[in-house]
Amino acid sequence: MSDHAATPDRIQFENVSKFYGEVLGVNKVTLSIPPGVTTLVGPNGSGKTTLMNLMTGLVQPSSGTISVLGLFPGNATEFFRAVGYCTQFDSFPRGLSGWQFVFDSLMLHGMDKMDAFRLTVEALDRVQLGDAAGRPIASYSKGMRQKIRLAQAIAHHPRVLILDEPLNGLDPMARAESLTLFEELGRQGMHLVISSHILDEVDRISDRVVLITGGYLIAEGNIQQVRQEVRDKPMQVLIRCDHPELLASRMFSINHCVEARLHADGQGVFLRTGDIDQFYSMLNGIAAEGLIKINAVAPADDDANAIYQYLIGSDGSAS
Amino acid sequence: MADTAASFSRSFAQQPWGLWRRQAARLTLIEVRRNLFSWKASWIYFLAFIPTLLIFLHALIDRHFVEGISDDTNVLAGIVEFYYVRLGIFFGCLGIFSRLIRGEMIERSLHFYLLSPVRREILLLSKFAAGSISALLLFETAMLANIALMYGPFGAAGRDYVFHGPGLGQSEAYLVIIPLACLGYGAVFLLLSMMFKNPTPAAMLVLGWEAINPVLPSVLQKISVASYLRHLMPVNIPGEGIFALLTVETEPVSGWAACLGLLMLIAVVLTYSCYRIRRLEIRYTTE
């Protein structure tokens, strides 16, 4: 095992492949995930869940090595004290109430009852499921089941939280609450690895994206960096100004500006450019002339959804 | 050599035995709670207590003369040898132990255990302990009730037979045979449930193997639960017809050797099960 594979503050994949018989799960993935919120993005069957299952030892790599903060799933006692995994399997051990589910999980850490009790209350409060905790999980709605899984995954205060489609089944309010919780956990220095189809929402809290399709890692890193690396797709910029038509015509005079579209409210223009550096340089010149008053400039397609569309080819929100 | 032994001894002592004990106790409690007190287990209650019901009816309906004790003793021995060991405990343990791992995979809930900070060997052994406790509670209770109901109606003669006569040794033997059968079949079915998606066909092969085992070479007889238990039976039942196959006289083995042999077989099966669970993967879609 290389030293690189056991870095104590990162999740490391070293040339990891996983085959299910003859079916490819993931192929030669090398990845290093720092603290913060990392979103796994990819269509169904792309290998996102396989990556998460590999991280936690639910499946074992056909080749390569994986370590999480320098720990390996084979050492379950240490490993699962540091890691919480909220899977997308919507099933639970039979006959348990929400309370028992979280409490029993904590007791398996070897805690005494008082500590397990306190952490159970805390986790249930965090997911706002305290009132329903005494009911059997079998009677829960899909959203409540999602919440109780999340409560169980965070109850022991893990340093790494892996969340497979954690927003599935949640209503908009619960989604917003969950995202706030994830954001807060990310800010606290925790590693959060999230896979989600609801890219617009997770994009807001993600520090990094990992794009995967067909079992192959196609891009990873900070969202803006990844977007800039997609050089064959012109970048789109929204410019808020008082004369958008004039600005569009001026910008079209340079050959790297390939598309202009007026904003629906008439107070801005979307411009696509193949050379963002020259684009901003020219825009500065126009602003300095003073003929057009520029109010705001913002990239319009450097989110996870746009990157997904460019690199994978369909709308991430719909997949 | 001495260094290796000292190093092993140090490493052994440094293991978190206290934590493992607490985890095992908790897991066992959770599993017993789920196994023993569930409607899905009701058919296992039926398997355990159907002879008790029949003996109870016999106690109510039939007259009991002192001369009948030896007949009832043979009946009880037959119930243990042909029903409990060959069928009741066999299928009861198939139900209890194959559910512990395979049942959880079918219900897609095994991953919760595999994601807990518990070594997989501890998980497996705790589940085995829980299954054993469930099976023992059911079948030992049934056996005690059978003895009480079989000899109780004989009054003072029955009590004398059980507490001061040959019935004492026989009862003790039955109360050893039943747990050994539970542990033996339990270990086998726990392993089979990890090896096969549907362990029932494999269990039927085991049933056949157990049936023909007495006529196999003595080396092969050592890979059988019933063959060890046969040596512990306190009463010899003359078999007739198909039952003759089950009562073939084999090479005599002392009770202690039979117990030790069976415990070693259980240990080997559990060791291999621990090896299997280390490599177990969660792929519910293929279940």
Q: Give the integer Cα–Cα distance in Å for A16 and A35.
A: 21
- CB-nearest to A108 from B111, B117, B281 is B117
Pick left, alpha or beta for residue A303 (phi over 0 → left; psi -120 to 50 → alpha; otherwise beta). Answer: beta
Strand-pair category, A208-213 with A36-41: parallel
- CB-nearest to A93 from B109, B117, B286 is B109
φ/ψ of A30, rounded to 5, equals: -120, 125
Cβ contacts (< 8 Å) between A20 and chain B: which residues?
A: 283, 286
User: Any idea which residue has 């890692």 for tokens?
Assistant: A217
Q: Give the integer Cα–Cα distance in Å for A77 and A82.
A: 9
Buried b (16+ CB within 10 A) or exposed e, A256-280: ebeebeeeeeeebbbbbbbbbeebe
pLDDT at A314: 55
- CB-nearest to B283 from A20, A95, A152 is A20
Q: Give the integer Cα–Cα distance in Å for A279 and A287.
A: 12
Residue A58 to residue B112, Cβ atoms within 8 A: no
pLDDT at A6: 64
Give the lowest-confidence range in A81-90, A212-221, B79-88. Answer: A212-221
pLDDT at B48: 94
User: Quick one: average pLDDT of A253-269?
Assistant: 83
- CB-nearest to B117 from A95, A109, A152 is A109
Residue B281 to residue A95, Cβ atoms within 8 A: no
User: Quick one: average pLDDT of A200-207?
Assistant: 78
Q: Give the integer Cα–Cα distance in Å for A60 and A79.
A: 15
Q: Give the integer Cα–Cα distance in Å for B72 and B150.
A: 7
Q: Give the integer Cα–Cα distance in Å for B44 and B36.
A: 9
Residue B116 to residue A110, Cβ atoms within 8 A: no
Q: Give the integer Cα–Cα distance in Å for A209 and A202.
A: 10
pLDDT at B241: 65
How big is chain A by its Cα radius of gyration, in Å? 23
Above pLDDT 70, what percent of chain A? 91
Half-sphere exposure of A93 (CA within 13 A, CB side): 25
Helix axes B17-36, A98-107, angle to 10 degrees: 150
CA A80 to chain centroid, in Å, comes to: 21
Q: Give the integer Cα–Cα distance in Å for B158 and B64.
A: 10
Strand-pair category, A294-299 with A257-262: unpaired
User: Residue A319: is its pLDDT beyond 50?
Assistant: no
Q: Give the integer Cα–Cα distance in Å for A315 and B12.
A: 56
Using the Cβ of A286 and the Cβ atoms of chain B, whether some distance falls under 8 Å is answered with: no
pLDDT at A1: 42
- Give the pLDDT confidence of A147-169 residue by residue, as tens digits: 999 999 999 999 999 999 888 87
- Residues of B near A (Cβ–Cβ under 8 Å) read 16, 19, 22-23, 26-27, 30, 33-34, 38, 104, 107-109, 111-112, 114-120, 278-279, 281-284, 286
Flag residues of chain B having pLDDT under 50: none
Q: Give the integer Cα–Cα distance in Å for A79 and A74.
A: 8
Look up the ipTM and state it.
0.80
Q: Which pLDDT band, with edges at 50, 70 and 90, does A238 fall under?
A: confident
A 84-113 residues with CB below 8 A of B?
A: 85, 87, 89, 91-95, 104-105, 107-110
Query: How many inter-chain contacts (A to B, CB under 8 Å) are there?
Result: 76
pLDDT at B246: 62
Residue B116 to residue A89, Cβ atoms within 8 A: no
Q: Give the integer Cα–Cα distance in Å for A133 and A2.
A: 45
Residue A178 in contact with residue A150, Cβ under 8 Å? yes
User: Residue A142: is its pLDDT beyond 80?
Assistant: yes
| Per-chain mean pLDDT for chain A | 86
Query: What is the residue type of A318?
Result: A
The side-by-side arrangement of strands in the sheet containing A11-20 is A23-33, A11-20, A63-68
CA-wise closest residue to B89 among B8, B206, B4: B206
CA-wise closest residue to A31 among A53, A59, A5, A58: A5
Q: Which pLDDT band, with edges at 50, 70 and 90, does A2 fall under?
A: very low
User: Any idea which residue has 């978190």 for tokens?
Assistant: B16
Residue B93 in contact with residue B138, Cβ under 8 Å? no
CA angle A71, A165, A65 (to 5 degrees): 25
Residue B172 makes CB contacts below 8 A (sequence gap 6+) with none
Half-sphere exposure of B45 (CA within 13 A, CB side): 8
Please provide the DSSP assignment of A90-118 as one string: ----TT-BHHHHHHHHHHTTT--HHHHHH
pLDDT at A234: 78
Q: Give the integer Cα–Cα distance in Å for B143 and B46.
A: 13
Strand-pair category, A257-262 with A268-273: antiparallel
